[in-house]
Structure 1
Amino acid sequence: MTDQRRANLPHLFPQNTSSLEPFTSHRVVVRTSPLPERDRAQHGNALQGQIQQLRPIAEQAKEAQQALGIQDGIGLRIQFESFNDVKLAFESLANKPKGIELLNYKEEGEHGFATVFVPDGKLDYFERVIAEYLNDRKGAKGQSLDHKALINTIQSIHVAQLEALWTDDPELLPTDDNNVIWWEAWLPVRENREATLANFTQAAEMLGIRVLDGALRFPERTILLIQSSKAQLQRSVLALNSIAELRRAKETADFFDSFTPAEQHQWTEDLLERTTFAAPENIPYVCILDTGVNHGHPLLAPVLANLDLHTVEPDWGVDDRHGHGTNMAGLALYGDLSNALDSAVPLTIGHRLESVKLLPSNGANAGDEKNYGYNTVEAVARPEITAPFRARVFSMAVTTIDGRDRGRPSSWSSALDRLASDADAQGATPRLFVISAGNIRSPTDWAAYPERNTLMGICDPAQSWNALTVGAFTDLVDLPPGLSAVAEQGGLSPFSTTSQNWVNHYPLKPDVLFEGGNLIQDDLMGPATAGELSLLTTHHLPTERPLTLATATSAATSLCSRMAAQLMATYPQLWPESIRALIVHSAEWTDAMKAMFLPKDRPPTKQDYERLVRHCGFGVPSLERAVWSASNSLTLAVEDTLHPFKKLRGKEPSLCDMHLHELPWPKDELEALGATPVEMTVTLSYFIEPNPSARGRSRYRYESHGLRFDVKRPTEDLARFRARVNAAAVDDESGTSNQDNDPAWTLGKLKRHKGSLHQDTWKGTAAALASRGYLAVYPSLGWWKTRAALERYNTPARYALIISIRAPEVDTDIYSVVAAKIAPENIIQV
């Protein structure tokens, strides 16, 4: 490779590349399965009888609610169950003018179950619907108004018991009715959120149910922690009519702070002497949300001021008694200290640290530490109040101990998504969160590597759509003769969890992998940790020993946070969405990862690559690739804003804007390279506003909006490209998908567009890439459009778009050609 190809060149930031392309109006036809026929009289009369049986129960519930002082929102929860030969038309059960609300929808086996809140006096509505069904009612123009599409899907109607509200893993519903545990109570917002919250709190406390302070607020849900036995809730289920869902509260993961170092290094003073720390003004900070940080450690004291030590609760203090937070601080500042201490090279650090104690040491009020979502909101507020104008990345290596959500949004992950999108301030100042994927901790599971990694799901809150989720790989394999490591060099770390067992439509996670350590293979005792296969970091009791070991996705998360801060220091003008995109864009899979998760006996399919991503993310990032372009490998970065939806007077919200980017493309130079192999990688990053509930995927979607990208094909003119993107948007809205017929993409459009971070790589000849200089970004369905009553349909959406071209086999200078097409003020000096 020539010196020219090694040259570090700043990325290019072209401006005003997009033109606004309004969508062409299409009629969306949703294809449904055939509706089964029913005996109208027999079926309708049976349902009418079931409604009649609800009336005395509704009166009983009303009396119980009034006895607790509830005046507004009196009513009854009922459950509709489907037949096993058709999907329940659950969306048709809600009726906003009458206050009838769909609370949750779930499927168990062949049956669907919808829980609906019916206000006092509104059971008549369903009686009338069934009566119109029985009468086979016709409209003025002869059209059927008999509600057949709804009624023929309903098998039974009954009172919603406690089990109807349970939307967590069925196996986690307590079997001991008298065992007191912590629950998450998901309340609907209704007409007045605060009144609903106050009514519930008052009623629960009168019934002897403890309600923890600190509510999480989302557009259509308020989430509280309550402490109660199952029996107590069952007795109170009619009175507590404002519960939409119940889930089990979660436990945090064990901390990996007890590994014994292979040897103690005594060179911290030498490291400090050759380290230069940037001044605190106008530099980024890594804010560590953990067990606190002991800033008296000599390696941390220069970058962690007293004023930057915070805590969620004053009684918890700011010091670190567990050790985990201080371990993370050392890695977030220096990286693996083994490398820093072994080197004699001067070190410059361009970022500083903040700490918020997210978890108590001991002695906290029982349950306070379990309010993870609310505590995280409070933890983020502490440093922002102290220093509101700092650039910072929030680093959190605290997760639950299991991956039972299988990608489903939780109260905690939804809180992170809300914080990242800054939904409370209409997206004014989005935040970057770096979150650990969670760990495999059992030696029994380590022994089943890598099969257990496939089965062990990523832990809450790492399913967050907006957070950068970090798993672990390892390059640490060097051991004394006679010993071997569990994972080979470059392979998935034995500690790392995956999303292979997630529900398919949830995001592709983890996003990236960083070093997380390895294990010794012991045929007699099983896998074990070892100092040689761990990372070195700062100990929380520096007077006893300054250094200790760290492993797993916690360590990997701190390394990723460090890289994010380094990128923020290099490109301070970039949005958090762009920093996330650059980290993922710079990642590559190792040969070991591809050997582990791609087939060896045939060419890999797009399904195979999705499996690779769900285990290894998009690979291992490179700071050099994230910061620099080269003459034969250039990166373009675009930041832009569009309006996904619009609402015209008297009409439902509809798709609004598409952006067509005309990129400064090296067309002639690529054509001259002819059949030379080249690659184009595209990364699209944006933050969604969350709206969590268990009410299906259709109009009750979790994400506020989706964005998609597509690239012009060589045989298309612009008119045909526009038409194809229009058709793709309509397919997305109707829930259909045309066949992905561009095999040159690694994942393809049917696989890559999950979550809010999309990346794909096109491989082909330079000549075929030459005419692909147009890229479209277009919207997809979200609750901003489908939940018109929330009035978010005119909200703008930001996005970051990263495009790179790599011609690894040639010396052709494509960088200078593109740079010449960009205004000099948009070429940033790094």
Structure 2
Amino acid sequence: MSYPHLVLQREEPTPERRPRRRGPSHQPADPAAHGRTLQSYLGQAVTQADTDIGGFDARRLFKFEVQKGFDPDELRKVSPDVEIVSQEEEQVVVAFVSAAALQVFEARLATLAQGGLPVHFNVLYALNSFNGWLPEDRTGWALRRDGFPATDTFVLDAELWPIEDNPQQRQQLTDTFRQWLDDNNFTYIDRVVQPGIIMYRVRCNRHQAENLLLHHRDVRTVDLPPRYHLETQILQADVQTLTPPVSPAEEAPRIAILDSGITANHPLIGPAVGGTHSFIAGHDANDNHGHGTQVAGIALYGDIANAIANNSFVPSFWVCSGRVLDGNAQADAGFIENQIITAVRTLHNEYQCRIFNVSIGDTNKPYIGGHIRSFSRTLDTLSRELDILFVVSTGNMAWDQLEGLSWMNDYPEYLTRDEWAIIDPAPALNALTVGSLARYDQNHRMLRYPDDPAEVPIARHSQPSPFTRRGPSVGNAIKPELVAFGGNWSLNTRDDHISSQRLGEVTTNRTFATDGLFKDACGTSFATPHVTHLAGQILCEVPDASQNLLRALLVTHARLPAGSDEMFPDKNKLRNVLGYGAVDQAALMRSIDNEVTMIARGTLADKRHHFYEIPIPEDFVSQGKRNRELTVTLAHTTPVRSTRVAYKATRLEFRVVAAPDIDHVSTMFNRATTADDYERIAELGNASLGPSMRSKGTVQSDTWTFKQFNSQSKLRTDRLFVVVTRNDFPWGTSITSTDEAYALTVCMRDRTNHQARLYTQIQARLQARVRIRS
């Protein structure tokens, strides 16, 4: 059963506060202690490496954790008998180490530990730890997520360490490994052997997998074969087999697609078209390219593959089209900003469109720091002026950005490089920016030739798409905020060919009369309308929702895809690629018994606080070990000025604190009249991001996760408050409002106990407060 989201009432008073500053961090160093620590790590690593089996020679395999920016070849200065095998991440180097090299390491660490200065001490300083390459390191992403199949035998893909520069060693490795498979009764299916990749597809049982394959020295990773695929019959669905859609109610919301136009007579789009215009000279409103029609279909229906499977095409809102691109999906010779301004004002005034999908980007304008470009600034200005939501794509990388094998071997680390920076207008702070996830990881060739390991998906299901771009935006604001399914690529390791066929999102086809109603397409352009669709659904449920509230609700219900946090151990890199994650729709539009959202909307003067008490229901803090979460999100729309380094004029942020009552909280913040005092205010512990990281953008969110509560837990001994603070830059006084609007959402969820009565208990507490105030 579902319920309307609840309203969270504000507490009084609103005391002043002063600006805060951040102090420098300090990191002490003790070389001798560092040496002793490394000695301990090395001993453990030797023990771990000695548990490996197999191997084409007698060397041990070590994993070196190194400082950021360390050149792996520097390790060879310690001993030429160290062979660098791979750099798995920016700070993880894997190497074969001979017995002689190990003795040199031990001797130099002993010198360092005793206070001496060994030869090449700077290399030892750059080492953080030693480890063996453990079974958990060899366990691939899909295998970690799904576990071994329940069948007696199953197929696995084993990737061996690539030996690119030594063909003789590579031949020795493959011959030895093939013989090892036969000796241990694995069923060999096929293999790929190239200088940059060695893959074996084998059939085995669980004992062979767990106790042999995952312990083999020469095995880099073991994973499940691809299994998510696009059913061909989905794309072949015929109009006669589908129930024709019925037009939305006349008063339903209208969303706008700013693109190459739409094919308004498409059988599934036509009944929901609310208006079409062209804002590009010499072109009518029709889509001569196809991009706009593909975007519009997803924006209107969301998951079209699911809609086909369930024969359920029910548009909840109208879609309006503003054509701003020509037949090549390019802007004309003029500035696209002018067309965007005209299109937005026209569609807003004539059709009351309040949500605009912008799957457009300028690849010549990546955001690599400095000032925001004009397209982004245009969206930021219109967002604030008209209270409208722009949903914007991060932009894509082209196939020729990397060589074939590099797409696979360097994934996902290359997603964090400077070249993958988001492009204009994705940096816009007042817009929602969307990156892409892979839905499918099996293409038509993998289905047709299941025993051939040559065709390899670059990303697996729910991992970042290989072409998606990364943030952050100006001032290190989190971008993209959200991700959604947008497609995948595969690599044929025999011919180095990249393909997207049957790996994209299903959507509506411009040439439906000759080529079918549907096609699949890859790109962040097709991830973006998934979020636009959800924003439109919220507007159907909450018609007066501001763009601040739309952003807050969407981000509040976003979660990092399972396992993705393991792909980027560095929190900044993780958020730069995935933002706050993908939207979980379970309780997005309406609350449910075990997942409750509270909404607050207000306006706040500069140097002031607003206080909100979060009611803690009994079922949330009840006994038992299970997954419970508290998510708080704040959204505001800032005025901007590109001639200032800070760009945004307003600064709103929040803190979550525990205290005996509202008087203690107001006193706590009122006394924080210096930067140091404010820093010492202790926020509720265990936040996923923390104030510094989340506060850079105009939509800010954080999640607190609780496994169990004891009698001393803050949520049992104290009351919980959210404090919203405004502290503007002095230069922005002339362009800010006396009272700046914001939206605040608080969500409590019990992910384990679906019978938890959170909604009724929170509702009762909120109603009791209203009666007391009355």
Please say whether Structure 1 and Structure 2 have the same fold, judged by a TM-score greater than 0.5: yes
1:553 paired with 2:518, answer: no
For 2:650, give the aligned amino acid. Answer: H
Paired residue for 2:6, among 7, 12, 21?
12
2:330 & 2:724 partners in 1: Cα distance?
A: 49
Question: How far did 1:821 drift?
Answer: 3.1
Query: Cα deviations across residues 495-537 of structure 1 (Å, max 9, x unaligned)?
Result: 211116x66x331011111001111121133352333211122
Name which of 300, 311, 327 aligns with 1:361: 327
Match of 1:21 among 14, 19, 31: 14
Q: Provide the C-alpha distance between the structure 1 equivalents of 2:633 and 2:20, rounded to a whole number of angstroms.
A: 29
Residues in 1 aligned to 2:752 and 2:383: alpha-carbon distance in whole angstroms? 40
1:364-412: CA deviation from partner (whole Å, max 9, x where unpaired): 99731xx12222111101212322xx35310010001155322541111
Q: Deviations over 1:657-700 (max 9, x none)?
A: 2111134442x55554487653211011111111112x43xxxx
The residue number in structure 2 matching 1:799 is 742
The answer to whether 1:688 aligns with 2:638 is yes
The separation in 2 between residues aligned to 1:351 and 1:27, in whole angstroms, is: 44
Q: Which residues in structure 2 correspond to 1:526-565 (within 5 Å)?
A: 526=496, 528-545=498-515, 546-565=517-536
**Is this contact kept in 1: 2:433–2:481, CA < 8 A?**
yes
| Native 8 Å contact 1:670 1:769 kept in 2 | no
Residues 1:385 and 2:349 are matched in the alignment: yes
Cα distance in structure 2, aligned partners of 1:804 and 1:28: 28
Distance 1:404 1:682 in 2: 31
Q: Which residue of 1 aligns with 2:758?
A: 814
- CA contact 1:729–1:780 (8 Å) conserved in 2: no
> d(CA) in 2 for partners of 1:540 and 1:578?
34
Which of 632, 636, 647 matches 2:598?
Answer: 636
Q: How does 1:58-73 map to 2 (within 5 A)?
A: none
Residue 800 of structure 1 deviates from its aligned partner by 0.9
Rate the CA distance shift 1:741–1:29 in 2: closer, same or farther, 3 A.
Answer: closer
Residue 574 (structure 1) aligned with residue 542 (structure 2): no
Which residue does 1:146 correspond to in 2? none
Equivalent residues of 1:262, 1:530 under 8 A apart:
no
In the alignment, is the contact (CA less than 8 A) between 1:337 and 1:536 conserved in 2?
A: yes
Quick one: distance in 2 between partners of 1:348 and 1:499?
A: 35
Q: Which residue of 1 aligns with 2:577?
A: 615
- Alignment of 1:496 with 2:468, yes or no, is yes
Are the equivalent residues in 1 in contact too, given 2:348–2:354 (CA < 8 A)?
Answer: no
> Alpha-carbon deviation of 1:798?
1.0
- When residues 439 and 814 of structure 1 are mapped into structure 2, their CA distance, relative to the original with a 3 A threshold, is same
Select the residue among 287, 296, 313 that pairs with 1:320: 287
- Matching residue of 1:662: 613
Aligned AA (2:390)? F
2:714 corresponding residue in structure 1: 768
**Gap change, CA 1:535 and 1:793, over 3 Å in 2:** closer
Identify if the C-alpha distance between structure 1 residues 523 and 745 changes in structure 2 by more than 3 Å, giving closer, same or farther.
Answer: same
Q: CA deviation at 1:825?
A: 14
Letter of the structure 1 residue corresponding to residue 5 of structure 2? H
CA deviations over 1:462-521 (Å, ceiling 9, x no partner): 100010100011221234113331111221111211116x66x33101111100111112
Deviation per CA, 1:44-66: give whole Å up to 9, x if none: xxxxxxxxxxxxxxxxxxxxxxx
SS in 1 for 2:480: coil
**Alpha-carbon distance change, 729 to 398 in structure 1, aligned in 2, over 3 angstroms:** farther
- Indicate the residue corresponding to 2:725 in structure 1: 778
Distance in structure 1 (CA, Å) of the matches to 2:328 and 2:353 = 32
Asked whether the 8 Å contact 2:437–2:464 carries over to 1, the reply is yes
Residue 652 of structure 2: SS of its match in structure 1?
Answer: strand
How far is the alpha carbon of 1:786 from its aligned partner? 2.5
DSSP-derived class of the 2:246 partner: strand
Aligned to 2:665: 721
Structure 1 residues 375 and 740: CA distance shift in structure 2, 3 A: farther
Whole-Å separation in 1 of the counterparts to 2:592 and 2:22: 48
Match of 1:348 in 2: 314
The reply to whether residue 517 of structure 1 matches residue 487 of structure 2 is: yes
What displacement does 1:293 show?
1.1
Listed one character per residue, the Cα deviations across residues 398-441 of structure 1 (whole Å, up to 9, x for unaligned) are 0011553225411110110001111xxxxxx4001100011111
- 1:720 CA drift (Å): 4.6
For residues 272 and 619 of structure 2, the distance between their equivalents in structure 1, rounded to whole angstroms, comes to 48
Q: 1:534 to 1:364 in 2, by over 3 A?
A: closer
Q: Which residue of 2 aligns with 1:230?
A: none
User: TM-score normalized by structure 1?
Assistant: 0.61
Structure 1 residues 809 and 293, CA gap change in structure 2 (3 angstroms): closer
Q: Quick check: 2:436–2:527 contact (8 Å CA) kept in 1?
A: yes
Give the 3-state SS of the residue equivalent to 2:514 in structure 1: coil
1:581 partner SS: helix
Cα 1:574–1:27 change in 2 (3 A) is closer
Verify the 8 A CA contact 1:681 1:762 in the aligned structure 2: yes
Where in structure 2 are the equivalents of 1:259-278 lying within 5 Å? 265-270=235-240, 272-273=242-243, 275-278=245-248
The whole-number CA distance in structure 2 between the counterparts of 1:768 and 1:297 is 57
Task: Answer whether contact 1:513 1:556 (CA < 8 A) is retained.
Answer: yes
Deviations 1:26-79 (A, max 9, x none): 5989999xxxxxxxxxxxxxxxxxxxxxxxxxxxxxxxxxxxxxxxxxxxxxxx
1:594 equivalent in alignment to 2:603: no
Partner SS for 1:273: coil
Q: Report matched runs for 1:435-474 at 5 Å.
A: 435-445=392-402, 446-447=407-408, 448-455=410-417, 456-474=420-438
The letter for the 1-side match of 2:291 is H
Identify if the C-alpha distance between structure 1 residues 825 and 304 changes in structure 2 by more than 3 Å, giving closer, same or farther.
farther
Please say if residues 260 and 329 of structure 2, whose CA atoms lie closer than 8 Å, have aligned partners that are also in contact: no
What amino acid does structure 2 have at the position aligned with 1:319? N
1:517 match: secondary structure: coil
Work out whether 1:585 is the aligned partner of 2:549: no
User: SS of 2:641's equivalent?
Assistant: coil
After TM superposition, list the pairs within 5 Å mapping 1:180-329 onto structure 2: 265-270=235-240, 272-273=242-243, 275-279=245-249, 281-305=250-274, 308-329=275-296
Q: 1-side partners of 2:324 and 2:564: how far apart? A: 34
Determine which of 621, 625, 649 is the counterpart of 1:704. 649
Q: C-alpha separation between the residues in 2 aligned to 1:409 and 1:302?
A: 39
Amino acid paired to 2:610: H
